[in-house]
Amino acid sequence: MNILIVDDSATIRVALERFIRKLGHQCATASDGQAGWEQFQSGAFDAVVSDWLMPGVDGLELCRRVRAAEDRPYTYFILVTALEDKQHVIEGMEAGVDDYLVKPVDPDDLKARLIAAERVSRLHRQLAHERGRLHAIVGSTPIGLLLTEGGIPVYWNSALLLLVGISDPDPHRLEQEIYASVHDAESVAEEVRELLEAGGTQAIDLHTKDGRCLEMVMFPCGVVDGQPSRGYLLRDVSREREVDRMKSEFVALASHELRTPLTTIKGYVDLLLDPGTGSLSPIQQEFAGTIQLGADRLMTLINDLLDLSRIEAGGLELARERTEVRQLVDRAAAMLRMQYESKHQQLDIEIPNHLPAVDADPDRINQVLINLLSNAYKYTPAEGRITVTARSAGEKVELSVKDTGIGMSLDDQTKLFTKFFRARNPAARKVGGTGLGLTISKSLVEMHGGSLTFESTLGEGSTFTVSLPVWRG
């Protein structure tokens, strides 16, 4: 260690210096408090061993100055005193003294104190190192970081200020200043409040007035001094969002362009297979049948992709109206009846008479029900049973499609609503499908302010439940 000895008695100074050097440490000496303070400022000392009573700047004052020098690494302060009275010791400790020695100094006592000093200095060095590393990371990351305690900003990095264009931050107004750079600040602030009330980790996209998109992730950071602490991460995602939009636009355009020639192919192959057009040889009929099947599958896929890209681009408008649940179910069931019959599956519809009407776009909900009913058909073996039930649940009506089919493993259930997902179960892979039906259905139901949930047991069956808001006129 590098130790500063401050004492106005030359005899004690020399004795201390000799002993400290013998212990293998480096030393510097000063003959009074003022000289000690000047030495301290010009060197890097791990510890100070100082006399208390000195003319001018005394040991306590020197200690106060050392503690106030915040930009310096921690210095262990040992006060040497002839005053053994407890009150003095307390006064010393309050001024920031770490330990004290009573005169005449016993070399073993000093040795023991320096062992403690060395340990504390090492810990402080480690702490400063870790802190420096953390500061370097947080200071140089392009991700904006903000930390609040009890709703008040207590820490932020320069990236945050740069992202929202603030040069002179005021902690009490920082949140408003962030929203000030964003379109529609008031509703964004309101939305953020709602997300925070919901708890957990939440994210929101902020669209800035200069055309950038910032993703803000908010997460709880535990409790500090009894106050809930929260972290905010801010990232410029303009490019990602733009690429995403371009992808949706491309898919929409490609699907749209593909649909026109496909409609022609499908129209002509339907005509070819129509007995009124003229007869085909059995082999020609088989070929045309294969083309028809392929064209039908392609048409379903293209329509699904088109829907998905419209939903993602926010371009799908709902035509909501007062809709009777029974009519919705009957319409969808009628479209699937032939298929159920072909597999000898039983379809039961149990809908109570006085069910409230729902606030829904009948065509879109029909699409959802057809997907659920056709999944029940596809993923339920012959002779199985499909039951459609409905019930009123407060402000919602819940519509369930239950089957006695193959069900899904827990692993498959976690990925169910992701695009193009198909269960790994070979029984599910045997039947055709693109894995878009449920993703689209979930989005459509959520656009209505409802939800799509499910329960499933592998080998026993599944129940999908659509909840839709009641019609309020």
Ligand X SMILES: Nc1ncnc2c1ncn2[C@@H]1O[C@H](COP(=O)(O)OP(=O)(O)OP(=O)(O)O)[C@@H](O)[C@H]1O
Q: Closer to ligand X at the Cβ: 193 or 337?
A: 337
Interaction partner, residue 30 (Mg ion, ligand X, none; CB < 5-8 Å by kind): none
206: which 2 tokens? 């902020």
- Which residues on neighbouring strands pair with residue 102, listed in sequence order? 81
Give the residue nearest to ligand X (CB).
Answer: 437
Q: Binding to ligand X by residue 307, rule CB under 6 A? A: no
- Count residues near ligand X (CB under 6 A): 23
- Which residues on neighbouring strands pair with residue 153, listed in sequence order? 148
Chain centroid to Cα 141, Å, comes to 18
DSSP letters, 143-183, are SEEEEEETTEEEEE-HHHHHHHT-SS--TTTHHHHHHHTBT
Tokens 């008479």 — which residue?
Answer: 353
Q: Binding to ligand X by residue 416, rule CB under 6 A? A: yes
Q: Is 255:306 a contact under the CB 8 Å cutoff?
A: yes
Interface positions with Mg ion (CB under 5 A): 371, 375, 437
Residues 6+ apart with CB under 8 A from 398: 390, 391, 392, 465, 466, 467
Interaction partner, residue 462 (ligand X, Mg ion, none; CB < 5-8 Å by kind): ligand X
Q: Binding to ligand X by residue 433, rule CB under 6 A? A: yes
Please state the closest distance from residue 303 (CB atom) to Mg ion, in A.
13
Q: Binding to ligand X by residue 309, rule CB under 6 A? A: no
Q: Binding to ligand X by residue 404, rule CB under 6 A? A: no
In order of 51, 310, 436, 451, 470, the CA distances from 371 in angstroms are 87, 18, 10, 15, 22
Please compute, for residue 344, the number of CA atoms within 13 A of its CA located in the half-sphere on the CB side: 3
Q: Closer to ligand X at the Cβ: 156 or 379?
A: 379
Q: Is the bond leading into 104 cis (omega within 30 degrees of zero)?
A: yes
Q: Of these, 408, 444, 445, 468, which contacts ligand X (CB under 6 A)?
A: 408
Nearest to 335 by CA among 361, 365, 366, 357: 366
Interaction partner, residue 4 (Mg ion, ligand X, none; CB < 5-8 Å by kind): none
Interaction partner, residue 421 (ligand X, Mg ion, none; CB < 5-8 Å by kind): ligand X
Q: Which residues, numbered 439-468, are part of the site for ligand X (CB under 6 A)?
A: 439, 462
Q: Is 382:403 a contact under the CB 8 Å cutoff?
A: no
Q: Binding to ligand X by residue 367, rule CB under 6 A? A: no
- Which residues on neighbouring strands pair with residue 4, listed in sequence order? 28, 48
Q: Binding to ligand X by residue 371, rule CB under 6 A? A: yes
Interaction partner, residue 436 (ligand X, Mg ion, none; CB < 5-8 Å by kind): ligand X
Please state the closest distance from residue 371 (CB atom) to ligand X, in A.
5
Q: Binding to ligand X by residue 436, rule CB under 6 A? A: yes
Please state the closest distance from residue 372 (CB atom) to Mg ion, in A.
8
Site string for ligand X, 324-353 (x = CB under 6 A): ------------------------------
**Binding-site ranges for ligand X (CB under 6 A):** 304, 371, 375-376, 379, 403, 405-408, 416, 421-423, 428, 433-439, 462
